């Protein structure tokens, strides 16, 4: 069964808005099985949980692995509104997620604090492979993150 990437990225965007409303970074993620069933949905909880590892991707990976008592998600697709950071990308690789679908990209929002990092550079550096899809709702995902950055700047806060 082919998954509807547009539909699931719409959900990731809504989860991103919810995370922002809760005082966190606007990042939503979800994990879907091969039949299109959502196994977990969540958003960034770094600030609300006071946990620097509570990125949206980590939240949903932990939830599915714990609920299903497994550490391999090769039959799953992970949707995320922004390109995962190196920590999250490594967790995705370690969980053997079958497919990663990305909305916005770090380069697309001019993010400088990650250097030359991208999913592709991490894969090249480590020799690992990952089936991933880009370009799904990219504009909307990047615009949401840029609005969040602008709102924080207006309050005198940094982009992180």
Question: Which of 64, 65, 76 minimizes the C-alpha distance to 100?
Answer: 76
Measured CA to CA, the distance from residue 157 to residue 152 in angstroms comes to: 5
Q: The tokens of 42 are what?
A: 């969540």
> Which member of 57, 63, 120, 142 is catalytic?
57
Of 148, 139, 114, 150, which is closest to residue 19 (Cα–Cα)? 148
Told to judge if 57 belongs to the known catalytic residues of this protein, a careful annotator would answer yes
Name the DSSP letter for residue 88. H
Give the Cα separation of 13 and 156 in Å (integer).
25
Paired sense of beta strands 28-33 and 76-82, if any: antiparallel
User: Looking at the annotation, which residues are catalytic?
Assistant: 57
């Amino acid at each position: 069964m082919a998954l509807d990437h547009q539909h699931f990225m719409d959900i990731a965007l809504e989860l991103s808005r919810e995370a922002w409303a809760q005082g966190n970074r606007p990042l939503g993620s979800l994990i879907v099985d091969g039949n299109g069933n959502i196994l977990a949905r969540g958003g960034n909880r770094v600030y609300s949980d006071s946990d620097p590892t509570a990125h949206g991707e980590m939240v949903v990976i932990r939830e599915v692995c714990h609920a299903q008592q497994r550490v391999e998600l090769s039959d799953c697709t992970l949707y995320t509104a922004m390109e995962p950071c190196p920590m999250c990308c490594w967790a995705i690789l370690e969980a053997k997620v079958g497919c990663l679908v990305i909305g916005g990209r770090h380069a697309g929002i001019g993010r400088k604090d990650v250097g030359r990092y991208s999913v592709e550079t991490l894969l090249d550096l480590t020799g690992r492979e990952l089936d991933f899809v880009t370009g799904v709702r990219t504009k909307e995902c990047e615009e949401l993150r840029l609005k969040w950055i602008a709102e924080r700047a207006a309050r005198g806060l940094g982009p992180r």
